[in-house]
């Protein structure tokens, strides 16, 4: 099996590369990544270069994508602009990477008859009320709120159209919020851990009642491999681990695990259009494909993540100052 992983030096893509490197020792992996601010080639450190090749390039580059796809069996497509706050400041790169990038991959897999798995997010479904008894399912209508989630929704709809109109052999997964090592310091959990390490207070948007459904990135990787190998062509699978927590609880837990007073955080400006709650019903993936998450103890996973950031200062420090300078401008 020769596989292309787009966005394979980002947070989740690189976790998936390490995961299949271990789980499928006979696979050849080509990572296609533009090395944006979110990509770090060090994320592939330690992997045998005879098995894992990094091609630095953009998913919007049709000639490059066509050439690579012709020479591989499957594409797992992670590459995207992924941060909501950035999409509110400057939406354009989201249209390029998320929409045009996905279109370019689709045209190449269509031409060469190759398998595609498209990685998406639960945010395409919009948000739920705090007391809504229902969670998102594969049948929930699309209702994205931000430029990020709107472009992810658009990319999913392109994949569905290419399956129906052109018979492209694709599956889609929509996952909830990931956490774990190697996540960029712009995101909620790494931001607060590194703020505390640097002697500052965590920053909670608005009241902090907003709920996210946390899953360890390693569980996301195992779900993707399951869908790639056993998923039904044309189908969508929701990935989640029943990890609903409000942001206030997450920040208080980080403070507690780092030996601080749990109330030592600041309320900062809320995110415009801030989604209230996400929650995933992953019954289809569990019952039809037999997947189950392994890292279901959130406190233990968070503790390991904190330890990783404490031990890997050199990995996150170069990004920290620029990230906080951006947040200072928006009052976040
Ligand atoms: P990330 O921002 O950490 O990494 C994105 C990677 O894609 C980077 O390495 C970047 O250099 C690369 N990239 C961006 N645009 C590119 C382009 N045009 N061409 C080539 N490479 C490009 O993102 P992440 O958190 O690892 O998310 C990966 C995927 O998973 C995204 O599609 C995202 O929408 C989806 N997702 C993320 C989460 C989450 O909680 N982070 C949850 C569900 C789904
Ligand atoms: O400093 C902060 N304080 C805060 O309260 C930051 C950075 C965030 N927040 C809040 C906003 C959200 O309610 O925490 C929650 C999580 O924020 P993010 O880490 O920015 O994630 P979110 O917007 O929920 O989106 C994430 O999950 C779905 C990923 O970034 C997306 O790529 C994925 O699709």
Residue with CA at minimum distance from ligand 2 atom 27:
177
State whether the Cα torsion 217-223-227-230 is positive or negative. positive
| CB-ligand 1 contact for 240 (6 Å cutoff) | no
Per DSSP, the three-state class of 31 is strand
Decide if 251 is inside a domain: no
Report the 3 state secondary structure along 44-93: HCCCCCCCEEEEECCCCCHHHHHHHHHCCCEEEECCCCCCHHHHHHCCHH
Decide if 311 is inside a domain: no
Decide if 103 is inside a domain: yes
> 261 CA to middle of ligand 1, Å?
34
Provide the pLDDT for residue 135: 98
Task: Note the residue count of the chain.
Answer: 332
Token digits for 124? 């395409």
Residue with CA at minimum distance from ligand 2 atom 30:
83
Residue with CA at minimum distance from ligand 1 atom 37:
121
Tell me which residue range forms the domain holding 23.
2-184+214-244+277-296
Strand partners, 178: 215
From the CA of 40, give the closest atom in ligand 1: 9
Residue reference for tokens 């955080």: 265
Nearest Cα neighbor of 219 from 250, 178, 172 is 178
- Kindly state the percentage of the chain with pLDDT values over 90: 100
Provide the pLDDT for residue 148: 98
Provide the pLDDT for residue 108: 99
pLDDT of 153-204, one tens digit each? 999 999 999 999 999 999 999 999 999 999 999 999 999 999 999 999 999 9
Decide if 173 is inside a domain: yes
How would residue 67 be classed by pLDDT, with cut points 50, 70 and 90? very high
CATH no. for residue 147?
3.40.50.720
Domain total of the chain? 1
Q: What is the mean pLDDT of residues 32-37?
A: 98
Between CA 240 and CA 32 the distance in angstroms is 26
| CB-ligand 1 contact for 178 (6 Å cutoff) | yes
pLDDT of 291-327, one tens digit each? 999 999 999 999 999 999 999 999 999 999 999 999 9
Decide if 257 is inside a domain: no
Per DSSP, the three-state class of 237 is strand
Decide if 234 is inside a domain: yes
Decide if 84 is inside a domain: yes
Provide the pLDDT for residue 296: 96
pLDDT of 239-284, one tens digit each? 999 999 999 999 999 999 999 999 999 999 999 999 999 999 999 9
Decide if 122 is inside a domain: yes
> 80 CA to middle of ligand 1, Å?
4
> 122 CA to middle of ligand 2, Å?
12
Q: Which residues are catalytic?
A: 122-123, 148
């Amino acid at each position: 099996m020769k596989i292309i992983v787009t966005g394979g030096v980002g947070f989740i893509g690189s976790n998936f590369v390490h995961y299949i490197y271990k789980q499928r020792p006979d696979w050849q992996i080509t990572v296609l990544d533009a090395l944006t601010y979110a990509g770090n080639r060090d994320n592939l450190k330690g992997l045998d270069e005879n098995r894992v090749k990094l091609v630095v390039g953009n998913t919007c580059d049709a000639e490059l994508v066509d050439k690579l796809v012709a020479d591989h069996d499957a594409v797992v497509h992670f590459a995207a602009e992924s941060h909501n706050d950035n999409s509110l400041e400057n939406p354009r790169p989201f249209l390029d990477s998320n929409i045009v990038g996905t279109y370019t991959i689709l045209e190449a897999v269509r031409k060469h008859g190759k398998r595609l798995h498209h990685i998406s997010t639960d945010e395409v479904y919009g948000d739920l009320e705090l007391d809504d008894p229902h969670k998102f399912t594969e049948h929930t209508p699309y209702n994205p709120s931000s430029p990020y989630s709107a472009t992810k929704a658009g990319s999913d709809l392109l994949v569905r159209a290419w399956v129906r109109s052109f018979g492209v052999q694709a599956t889609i997964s929509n996952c909830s919020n990931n956490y774990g090592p190697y996540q960029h310091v712009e995101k909620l959990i790494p931001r607060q851990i590194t703020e505390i390490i640097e002697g500052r207070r965590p920053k909670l948007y608005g009241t902090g009642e907003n709920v996210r459904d946390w899953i360890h990135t390693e569980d996301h990787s195992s779900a993707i491999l399951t869908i790639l190998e056993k998923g039904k062509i044309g189908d969508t699978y929701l990935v989640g681990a029943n990890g609903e927590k409000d942001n206030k609880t997450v920040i208080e837990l980080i403070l507690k695990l780092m030996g601080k007073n749990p109330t030592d955080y600041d309320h900062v400006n809320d995110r415009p259009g801030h989604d209230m709650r996400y929650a995933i019903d992953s019954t289809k993936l569990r019952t039809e494909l037999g997947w189950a998450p392994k890292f279901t103890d959130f406190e233990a996973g968070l503790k390991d993540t904190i330890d990783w950031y404490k031990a890997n200062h050199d990995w996150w420090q170069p990004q920290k100052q620029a990230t906080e300078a951006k947040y200072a401008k928006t009052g976040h």
